[in-house]
Chains A and B, each alone.
Chain A
Amino acid sequence: MFKRIGGIFWALLFLAVPVLGVATFAISPFYDHWLPKDVSTHGAAIDSLFYFILVLTGVVFVVTEFLLFWFMWKYDRNNQEGHATYIQGSHTLEVVWTIIPAATLVFLAIYQMNAWADVKMRRPSMAPTVEVIARQFEWRLRYPGRDGTLGTADDLFVVNDLHLPVDEDVLIQLKSMDVLHSFFLPNLRIKQDAVPGMKIPVWFKAREVGQFDIVCAELCGWGHYKMKGRVTFESRPEFESWLERKYAEQQATQPPAEADVAAE
């Protein structure tokens, strides 16, 4: 028994991996160290896929790590007499543990396509609600203004303070002026790189009013960490009155020469 202490110690150390691993994932949600609140309509599909993969990989993780522990415990040299068993492999086992994971992975691949298509491929047919132009190190926002068309003289410009209507499809046209950035809304499960020279559509629908973070998630230079914006979801009337207020502010602060251009 004394000779076995080494083997037992190492086996238990490896057993700690699945035990503490699962414990970490089980405890974290109770300390708010978990997926942030989701207020989007598509986020539930993403989160449930996350949980599905978590359970699937969790089971594989626990089983394989436990087998590793068990083999270390049982087949410790000091725990047995004679030679090891001479086994070169097993055709049946190879086939089984190739086909089962293959089928699971193919299922997983097909199962998730729809969620991806909803977020990235099935773009709603509508004019952009707002154009987001990323720039070192701020989010420039451009609303179409009263005429509903982007790129005209009555466009409204705002920085870092994105307001959007709740319970409505929103289409963002994402651009970058200089380097790569990434438009990341953790609470809406939205992320899209902004690429110089490209106009990339981003769409979603918020279910709740509230204010949330806009994070830059692609390295964009020394000020990357402070490229922070806020998104506010509010009811349609509130959103429109905010637009009006901002528009009035813009008119009031614009220098006369540009105001003339705007009037044309």
Chain B
Amino acid sequence: MTPPTTAVTPAVDHGHAAPHAHGHAQGGLSHFLSTYVFSKDHKVIGLQFLFSTLLWFLVGGLLALAVRWQVAWPWSDVPVLGKLFAQEGGQMSPEFYTMLFTMHASVMIFLVIIPILAGAFGNFLIPLMIGADDMAFPTLNMLSYWFMWPAFICFGASFFVEGGAASGGWTSYPTLSTNPASSPASSMGQTLWLLGLTFVGVSSMLGSVNYMTTIILMRAPGMTMFRLPMTIWGMFITAILQAFALPVLTAAGFMQLSDRMLGTGFFSPEGNVINNAIAGAGGGQPLLWQHLFWFYSHPAVYIMILPAMGMVSDILTVFARKPLFGYRPMVYSIAGIAGLGFIVWGHHMFMSGMNPALGITFMVSTMMIALPSAVKTFNWLGTLWGGRIQFTTAMLFALSFVSMFIIGGLSGIFMAATPVDIFIHDTYFIVAHFHYVLFAGTAMGVFAGIYFWFPKMFGRTMNEFWGKVHFFLTFIFLNGTFFTMHILGAVGFPRRLADAYHYETFHHLQPMNAFMTWCAIGMVATQVIFAANFIYSMFWGPRAGRNPWNANTLEWIAPSPPGHGNFDFQPVVHRGPYEYSVPGVEKDHLMQTDPPNQAAAAAAAAAH
């Protein structure tokens, strides 16, 4: 909690501070709207993203429970939900089940993970961590949040249109998704899904342009690229990935819309017969969609993990009181993951009918992408080695990210091996794999980030005891739910089946599925503790100072919560972000802004 003693210009001209104060005098609705609703302040926008995505997280979680219910106890009456959506006396129809898993994945990916990382944490942290007073384009930033709302409305409304929401899987493969006759729900619901996806894309694109510009141009004096914290590196590379991959998905989405609404045939072959009727003129190729879709959606997998990796790297160093092990290799491996991420999309298509020789190329590139992930894991372990570990809730979630990412990373090698993939493709093995990466990995990283930056967001700390209870139960239940999925996958249990027990091969797997569903129910119930802790701490938690964790990065020299314009003086950076436990320095951390003479003086004093 050292007050920064830099001898630079004491106050920055915030520019917008004056009109802000003016608004107070006027008071009333317009002030409220400009401060909390149509705000151009990156922190407010970040929190708007955070609250919206956490609400959708709840929706996605409940959808998952409904999916689990059907898998564990097919065709039995659904409690509560069955009464709400009573169509056939509380029992789930297969159409409804198909819609559930489609929307579970769509909501979690497009309305939760991507916007919570880039939108919530990216917005809140980027200017603070690089020492800028706001984003480069505040209006664009505000628009990036408000473009999420049409997406929320499209996805949300699609549950209530005739035929229900999209049910072609989150991958939306043609011709199931392009031909309404092939699926009762593939009418208005699928169109709304595509429109929603486009709006999410616009939002991400606006954000990504903004993040790149801000990180390149608005770093504080002395903040070189190689003094950036890993969180910012993660956000920066993610922004680049989005900027280059998104246009392809957007174009593909419009092609699918055009197939559905204008009768074109980009994705439908000639002579396709659906429901005993010729389906359109054809002339297209279903595989084209898969290539275009995965050209975005594979890099999107890294968009969904790289920022979390960055946040976890920062949190590990703070609570191990050690420099990050191998800073540069960590940066290069993120860049390596991003680069290779563009040439591995075909591994989603090993069984698709794509030329098997091409499968070998994608197999090799996919094997290679395991390498930077391995390097990152070893460096995280190296960071802990010789540390002085403090088991805060944020640290426990960060440690569990490492532990769970090891599982998710290693299970990926099974799928990358093309011959093994023949058996486990589209089984629960892949479901286990991506839940270990996305839930046990990214969501744990997000929880770590929330517990860690909560003091900066709201000026108060979350309750540690209940945080640890939340961590403990989540950790137990998530492994109970997802680890067992590997075993289901080894039996070949296929995903997306409303009822697989009539198959001879799978009839004995129901007890295991019931166990997993109980764990999933426990996992969702545990999040009540988190929600209560979050809301209580926001208003009544103990006040946090500027730097409650004794961390080094720039956001911790700003007030908690930071006012408009962030810093009360212009930060000047003298060193990298990980100077913990520097020999000869009395306190165990040197903030990025601590002047070098102070460190030198301390070292000299210690030498005497």
Residue of A45, A97, A182, A219 near B375 (CB, 8 A) is A97
Known: A14-B403, A24-B483. A60 touches B410 (CB 8 A): yes
> A84 touching B364 by the CB < 8 A rule?
no
Given known contacts A65-B406, A221-B182, A224-B497, is B382 in contact with A35 (CB within 8 Å)? no
Residues of B within 8 A of A184 (CB): 426, 492, 494
Taking residues whose C-beta sits less than 8 angstroms from the other chain, chain B's interface range is 35 or more
Cα–Cα, bound, A43→B338 (Å) = 35
Whole-angstrom CA separation of A46 from B421 in the bound complex: 9
Contact indicator A24/B484 (Cβ below 8 Å): yes
Q: Report A188-220 CB contacts with B as 1/0, cut-off 8 Å.
A: 011111111110100000000000110111111
A36-B492, A120-B359, A197-B282 are contacts. A112–B503 as well, Cβ < 8 Å? Answer: no
- Max count, chain B CB within 10 A of own CB: residue among A10, A187, A216: A10
| Cα-based distance from A228 to B500 in the complex (angstroms) | 10
Chain B binder among A156-164, A173-181, A252-260: A173-181
A87 and B494 form a contact (CB under 8 A) = no
Question: Which residues 396-411 of B have a CB within 8 angstroms of A?
Answer: 396, 399-400, 402-403, 406-407, 410-411
Contact between chains at B370 and A101 (CB < 8 Å): yes
Question: In the assembled complex, which residues on chain B have CB atoms less than 8 Å from the CB atom of A76?
Answer: 389, 391
Which B residues are in CB contact (< 8 Å) with A89? 323-329, 379, 382
- Tell whether A46 pairs with B423 under 8 Å between CB atoms, given A191-B351, A225-B94: yes
Bound complex: CA A7 to CA B378 (Å): 22
Cα distance A258–B581 in the bound complex, in angstroms: 88
Known: A33-B509, A105-B368. A112 touches B363 (CB 8 A): yes
Q: Counting CB contacts under 8 A, is B387 at the interface?
A: yes
With beta carbons under 8 angstroms apart, the residue of A101, A116, A177, A195 that contacts B419 is A116
* A53 beta carbon closer than 8 Å to chain B: yes
Contact call B273/A109, Cβ cutoff below 8 A = no
Q: A248 in the interface, Cβ–Cβ < 8 Å?
A: no
Q: Are A197 and B270 in contact (CB under 8 A)?
A: yes
Are the C-beta atoms of B322 and A53 separated by less than 8 Å?
no
Q: State the CA gap A190–B421 with chains docked (Å).
A: 10
* Pair A45/B419 contact, Cβ less than 8 Å: yes
Q: List the B side residues contacting A77 at CB < 8 Å.
A: 321, 388-391
Q: Which residue of A lies closest to B330 (CB)?
A: A89
Q: Is the Cβ of A94 less than 8 Å from the Cβ of B326?
A: yes
List CB contacts (< 8 Å) of B253-278 with chain A: 268-275
Do B322 and A180 have beta carbons less than 8 Å apart? no
Please indicate the chain A residues that have their CB under 8 angstroms from the CB of B363 in the complex. 109, 112-113, 116
List, in ascending order, chain A residues with CB within 8 A of B352's CB: 193, 195
Taking CB atoms and an 8 Å cut-off, the chain B residues in 562-601 that contact chain A are 578, 580-583, 588
Query: Interface stretch among A67-75, A124-132, A144-152, A236-244?
Result: A67-75
B176 and A186 form a contact (CB under 8 A) = no
- Known contacts A85-B581, A89-B325, A196-B175: A180-B184 contact under CB 8 Å: no
Query: What are the residues of chain A within 8 A of B499 when measuring CB–CB?
Result: 225-226
Q: Is the CB of B387 within 8 A of A75?
A: yes
> Which residues in B have their C-beta under 8 angstroms from that of A190?
422
Whether B371 contacts A98 by the Cβ 8 Å rule is yes
Bound complex: CA of A180 vs CA of B176, how far in Å?
A: 7
- The segment from B8-16, B129-137, B165-173, B200-208 found at the interface with A is B165-173
Q: Check B504 for interface membership: any CB of A closer than 8 A.
A: yes
Once A33-B491, A221-B183 are accepted as A-B contacts, the answer to whether A80 and B503 lie under 8 Å apart by CB is no
Residue of A10, A83, A94, A105 contacting most chain B CB atoms (<10 Å): A83
- A57: which B residues are within 8 A, CB to CB? 410-411, 413-414
A231 to B327 Cα, complex, angstroms: 56
A18 CB, min distance to chain B CBs, angstroms: 9
Q: How far is the CB of A233 from chain B (nearest CB, A)?
A: 15
- B481 at interface by CB-CB < 8 Å: no
A2 at the interface (CB under 8 A from B): no
Q: In the complex, A137 Cα to B490 Cα: how many Å?
A: 25
| Cα distance A64–B410 in the bound complex, in angstroms | 11
| A119: Cβ under 8 A from any B Cβ | yes
Contact call B360/A71, Cβ cutoff below 8 A: no
Decide if B183 touches A46 in the complex (CB within 8 Å).
Answer: no
Please name all residues of chain A whose beta carbon is closer than 8 Å to the beta carbon of B337 when the two chains form the complex.
none
Bound CA span A182–B424, Å = 13
**Are A83 and B183 in contact (CB-based, < 8 A)?**
no
Question: Contact at B381–A71, with CB atoms within 8 Å?
Answer: yes
Q: Which A residues lie within 8 Å of B35 (CB)?
A: none
Choose among B272, B322, B487, B502 the residue that contacts A85 (Cβ–Cβ < 8 A). Answer: B322
- B377 touches A (CB below 8 Å): yes
Question: Are B386 and A75 neighbours in the complex by a CB distance under 8 Å?
Answer: yes
- Do B381 and A67 have beta carbons less than 8 Å apart? yes
- Give B356 Cβ to nearest chain A Cβ, in Å: 4
CB pair B273 A177 closer than 8 Å: yes
A136 cross-chain contacts in B, Cβ below 8 A: 182, 274-275
- Which residues of chain A are within 8 angstroms of B371 by Cβ–Cβ distance? 98, 101-102, 105
**What is the CB-to-nearest-CB distance from B196 to chain A, in angstroms, rounded to a whole number?**
20
Q: Flag whether A262 is at the interface (Cβ < 8 A).
A: no
Residues of B within 8 A of A56 (CB): 413
Of the candidates A21, A50, A68, the one whose C-beta lies within 8 Å of that of B420 is: A50
Contact B98 A222 (CB under 8 A): yes
Asked if A68 contacts B414 (CB within 8 A), the reply is: no
Considering the complex, give the chain A residue whose CB is closest to the CB of B497: A225
Alpha-carbon gap, A78 to B484, bound state (A) = 35
A264 within 8 A of B: no
Residue A247 interfacial (CB < 8 Å): no
The reply to whether the CB of A170 lies closer than 8 angstroms to some CB of chain B is: no
CB-CB < 8 A to A88: which residues of B? 323-327, 578
Q: How far does the alpha carbon of A88 sit from the alpha carbon of B325 in the complex, in Å?
A: 5
Closest to A220 in B: B176
Once A24-B483, A68-B403, A71-B381 are accepted as A-B contacts, the answer to whether A193 and B351 lie under 8 Å apart by CB is yes
A121 touches B357 (CB 8 A): yes
Say yes or no: B502 contacts A219, CB within 8 Å. Answer: no
Q: Which residues of A contact B387 (CB under 8 A)?
A: 71, 75, 84-85
- Does the CB pair A217–B494 fall under 8 Å? yes
The 7 A-B pairs of least Cβ separation, nearest first, read A197-B269, A85-B386, A120-B356, A89-B326, A115-B419, A186-B492, A57-B410
Given contacts A53-B414, A72-B384, A217-B427, 20 further A-B contacts (CB under 8 A): A17-B407, A33-B508, A35-B490, A36-B492, A45-B419, A46-B420, A54-B414, A71-B387, A77-B391, A83-B388, A87-B325, A94-B379, A106-B367, A136-B274, A178-B272, A197-B272, A197-B286, A213-B503, A217-B426, A225-B500
List 26 A–B pairs whose Cβ atoms lie within 8 Å, in order of A's numbering: A17-B403, A20-B483, A33-B509, A34-B491, A53-B413, A65-B406, A68-B402, A72-B389, A84-B322, A89-B324, A90-B326, A90-B382, A93-B378, A93-B382, A97-B378, A98-B329, A105-B367, A108-B367, A113-B363, A195-B352, A196-B269, A196-B272, A218-B173, A224-B497, A226-B499, A228-B502
